[in-house]
Structure 1
Amino acid sequence: MTLSFLVIDDDAGDRKLLRRLLGQRKDPSEVHEAVNAEAAMACDLPAPDMVFLDYMLPDASGADLIIPLGRRWPRAAICMMTGQGDEEIAKDSIQRGAIDYLPKRNLSPAALDRVIKTGCKLARMRWQLDEQREDLSVFSEVLVHDLKAPIRSMRFLVDKLNEDLAEGTAKDVRRDVQLIGKSADRLNDLVTSLAGHVHFDHETAEEEVTSDELVEAARTVLLEEIERTGAKVVSKGRARFTCHMPQIVQLLQNLIGNAIKYAGDAPPHITIHCSEIPEEVRLSVEDKGIGVPPEYRQTIFEPFKRLPVAAAIPGTGLGLATCRKVVDRHGGRIWCDEGTTEGTAIHVVLPRRPKPLACTG
């Protein structure tokens, strides 16, 4: 398995030494370089597995860069390096979020292997803990707010049903039963959506699939909605890649389902574009619906973020957040097209083969 490294150091000799030592590892490596903090933050590259960060940079302290790097690449292991060993620097770096500390005089193949093996595992574990903490926050938010509403509605309707049964009004009883059914459906949708958002650390086996298989599986799940709305779902292009299939099916299910839900007055028309690019695949779901205002296109993937125009449309605000979680756990990227003027276009880029749950050197 190929691991990706980012070396941030203004000393050309130190960068060359690290590149040479990383190249001697038995596993293949991709090494990227940045000569200062500004160049590091401007790097346009997928999340590295590990960052080797020099403490003394020409435009910033390496310690001050740990938190911004962690925010940008939360799964990356950050190893602080200095010319001389210093316990205070090591302590400060670890407190700010670095995984390890390595004096440059101790650089060797064995030392790097140790740092990479333990660092990647620790970084992955910490990322999972942060994800679980966020999931618990989402769960408590749902319990406090969203779950109470359908429960209150059902309680009210049960009381009303008892009154109507006592009065013997068959028409009112049927109406009450229908409304209870709708409230139960709403509660079921919310619990299902929440479960899908939380339980992605239950890892499924990877398998090689085609985009045709994924789209067909998502269509099958959404068959009732497609037939009820007269939606037209068209797939163009083809891609083959390795993934956790149930998760990518749910990703497409959520994106297609949203396109159906927010189609507006016209029958939904949804196009799924699939293509292969070097080492990656691209999936795009485009529709001609009500669209997403430009000011919301950056935030719609956050939990509970719903558009003001969607207030009258049933939903939990977790569908796109779940999509982002699926994509993140595959090591990919998801975004809403900034240039679309009609409808909505959501783009997803995934690696041809996702990295395993734990990175080992």
Structure 2
Amino acid sequence: MVWVAVSETAALEDWKARVARHGVLMVGALAVIVVLSLLALRGIRRERLAAANLEMLNKRLYSTNLELERYAEVAAHHLQEPLRIINSYAQLLESRFSPKLQGECKEFLDFLVQGSREMKELLSDLQFYTALDPIGTPVTTSADAGHCAREALKDLKNTPQIETVSLGKLPTVKAVPRQLTILFQLLIHNALTYTSPDRVPVVTVSAEPDEAGWRFTVRDNGIGVEPAYRERIFRMFERLHPRGKYPGTGIGLAICRKIVERHGGRIWCDSNPGEGSAFSFTLPAAPVPTP
């Protein structure tokens, strides 16, 4: 064994060098930690600022929507009376003078009567749309979907080919009963409106469990919808066909969407031209009663 003598001074210098190297590494590591912390804090601040801005924008949007709906509600209400007068006089003219009129005069009177009827229907739908509670309003009632669907069929009893509609077993859900009835009524009426001329209508209403609660489907074998228009048909006043070919105000499916979203669900359409349509929507299950 060979012993190597190391002076005290050399050992001290070596120790100082090591300490210096470790110190530099520690300072560097601390600097990196500080920089990363500052970046993280800056990111958090940006996220909080973005969230605050988003919340402010959402509040403004909500307020604007309420204002627009209130404006539409007031406008529809105040238009009802003058429209009622126009419609009354148009019907009076029709009953008294229609048999005596010919050519353009009779055609113009028919336009007036039909136009006033369509406007009355439009204002009625618009009033109902604006009267619906805003999305996010809590729903505290339960509804027997089977009963609501049967009530919808009663409301549609004078609709041609209503006997072709069949109802499956439908559950009880968390919903406003009258609004659920109107939802079924509009979707069934839509199915019986856009029928195919080469086959007898077949309309079914069914339900099955879904992760959101229940998924309902109103399925028909009608003319179908182009894939590009599956989303557009739920917009207000969106019509894919001339009014003379298929009646309606262009508000029905917009009302359906608002009812479903007001209940915390979603609605969509699966369809192809000539293959019929399936309108599906989700609703939360009714709460289980406590013993």
Residues 1:85 and 1:306: Cα distance change in structure 2 (over 3 Å): closer
SS in 2 for 1:323: helix
Higher helix share: 2
SS in 2 for 1:186: helix
The reply to whether residue 214 of structure 1 matches residue 148 of structure 2 is: yes
Matches within 5 A, 1:126-137: 128-135=62-69
Q: Is the 8 A contact 1:209 1:240 kept in 2?
A: yes
Q: Is the 8 A contact 1:237 1:275 kept in 2?
A: no
Deviation for aligned residue 1:287: 0.7
The reply to whether residue 98 of structure 1 matches residue 30 of structure 2 is: no
Partners of 2:76 and 2:114 in 1: CA distance: 19
Deviation for aligned residue 1:160: 6.3
2:259 aligned partner: 326
Aligned residues: 239
2:232 aligned partner: 299
Matches within 5 A, 1:73-92: none
SS in 2 for 1:316: coil
SS in 1 for 2:152: helix
Deviation for aligned residue 1:197: 1.1
User: Which one-letter code corresponds to 1:218 in the other structure?
Assistant: A
Q: Is the 8 A contact 2:260 2:267 kept in 1?
A: yes
Rg larger for = 2
Q: 1:285 aligns with which of 218, 221, 224?
A: 218
SS in 2 for 1:288: coil
2:130 aligned partner: 198
Where in structure 2 are there 5+ consecutive unaligned residues? 1-38
Deviation for aligned residue 1:320: 0.5
Q: Is the 8 A contact 1:190 1:316 kept in 2?
A: yes
Partners of 1:256 and 1:136 in 2: CA distance: 29
Cα-to-partner distance string for 1:5-26 (whole Å, 9 max, x where unaligned): xxxxxxxxxxxxxxxxxxxxxx
2:15 aligned partner: none
SS in 2 for 1:257: helix
Q: Is the 8 A contact 2:139 2:263 kept in 1?
A: no
Deviation for aligned residue 1:171: 5.2
Partners of 2:113 and 2:243 in 1: CA distance: 22
Deviation for aligned residue 1:84: 8.7
Q: Is the 8 A contact 1:231 1:260 kept in 2?
A: no
Partners of 2:274 and 2:268 in 1: CA distance: 15
Q: Is the 8 A contact 1:239 1:276 kept in 2?
A: no
The reply to whether residue 351 of structure 1 matches residue 284 of structure 2 is: yes
Deviation for aligned residue 1:187: 2.8
Q: 1:186 aligns with which of 78, 99, 118?
A: 118
Higher strand share: 1
Residues 1:300 and 1:170: Cα distance change in structure 2 (over 3 Å): closer
Where in structure 1 are there 5+ consecutive unaligned residues? 1-55, 58-81, 100-121, 355-361
2:246 aligned partner: 313
SS in 1 for 2:55: coil
TM-score, normalised via structure 1 length: 0.54
Q: Is the 8 A contact 1:204 1:244 kept in 2?
A: no
Partners of 1:136 and 1:232 in 2: CA distance: 39
Q: Is the 8 A contact 1:206 1:242 kept in 2?
A: yes
TM-score, normalised via structure 2 length: 0.65
Cα-to-partner distance string for 1:171-203 (whole Å, 9 max, x where unaligned): 549x89987664443233212211121111287
Q: Is the 8 A contact 2:69 2:130 kept in 1?
A: yes
Residues 1:353 and 1:239: Cα distance change in structure 2 (over 3 Å): closer
Residues 1:288 and 1:278: Cα distance change in structure 2 (over 3 Å): same
Identity of aligned residues (%): 25
Higher relative contact order (CA 8 A, sep 6+): 2
User: Which one-letter code corresponds to 2:186 in the other structure?
Assistant: N
Residues 1:142 and 1:298: Cα distance change in structure 2 (over 3 Å): farther
Partners of 2:229 and 2:75 in 1: CA distance: 22
Q: Is the 8 A contact 1:206 1:245 kept in 2?
A: no
| CA RMSD, 1 decimal | 4.3
